[in-house]
Amino acid sequence: MPRHTVRFLEYARDQYAGLDAETRDQIDQLIECLAENTRECGTYDACSDWWSTTVSSGRVLVTYTVVPSPPTMIVLRLLLFG
């Protein structure tokens, strides 16, 4: 499977910027993993055609979608709980 290009929607980029450095580092590590294999850590929802996963012990929900050609992963949202 080819490495995916990663893009953030502007809204997700703003959410990312508002997180603390430790959480951003955890998200960066997750994104690197997902860029190699978008299905490795995520759960797919067929109704929305979105994938989701969490980081920071479940404190941050990451939602993303995958475009097959060219291989692209688009981060839609980062939701912080607690």
Question: CA dist 78 to 8, 28, 58, 67, 69, Å?
Answer: 10, 12, 12, 19, 24
CATH class of this structure's domain 5-80: alpha beta
The four Cα atoms 68, 31, 15, 75 give a dihedral, to 10 degrees, of 10
* Residue 2, pLDDT above cutoff 80: no
Q: Report the chain's mean pLDDT, rounded to a whole number.
A: 93
* Residue 80, pLDDT above cutoff 70: yes
One-letter amino acid of 77: R
Q: How far apart are CA 80 and CA 66, in angstroms?
A: 22
